[in-house]
Amino acid sequence: MKDMLLSGYDRLLDLSPMQILCQGKSILDLGANVGIQSLKALEHGAKHVTCIDHSSENIAVLKHILPAKKSKIIQTSLAEKGVIKELHQQYNTVFYLAVHQHLERQSKGSGWSLIDEYINMKPEYVAYRAKNYENQGKEYHEKNFGPLIYYSCMTNDLAPLMIFKRR
């Protein structure tokens, strides 16, 4: 568990535009892990976070650290088609951080299908990070969603963080 928390913290270091992404907004955290991004989103004024993860251990941590009144926690596999269509909620910001490569290994094309699903939800912002899919992810989001407005690459071993704004 300690490694996951350190990894989550490292992944947050370059999320400096949190205020813009979160203040007064509803957040969808896909592949939430142990909820570090969602916790920080709430600290930066998010009105609500919905976290989705498949791991029982991660779900237990999410339930422990996130306030029940401001969060919804869902345990399911993101590789299943249509998983977020069932949410029937509008989100201002989607976090899709370090999930894509895992989905693509599980089921080819499932990561791209999930991107299409959240793009169709029409959030205002998307925060995206995917090791080995940086260029394709950037091109795909810019073509189908909107322009890249923030780019940060803190270390060589961590994929860059890219934030896109809907047209």
Q: Is 41 within 8 Å of 18 (Cβ atoms)?
A: yes
CATH number of the domain enclosing 121: 3.40.50.150
pTM above 0.85, yes or no: yes
Domain count of the fold of the chain: 1
Q: How confident is the model at residue 16 (pLDDT cuts 50, 70, 90)?
A: low
Task: Quote the pLDDT of residue 14.
Answer: 52
Q: Is 49 within 8 Å of 71 (Cβ atoms)?
A: yes
Domain that holds residue 79: 2-165
CA 56 – CA 59 distance, rounded (Å): 5
Asked whether the predicted pLDDT for residue 8 surpasses 80, the reply is no
> Which residues are registered as beta bridge partners of 53?
75
In degrees, rounded to 5, the angle at the alpha carbon of residue 91 between the alpha carbons of residues 114 and 7 is 65
Q: At 166, give phi and psi (nearest 5°).
A: -65, 140
Asked whether the predicted pLDDT for residue 86 surpasses 90, the reply is no
| 111-156 confidence digits (pLDDT tens) | 999 999 999 999 999 999 999 999 999 999 999 999 999 898 877 7
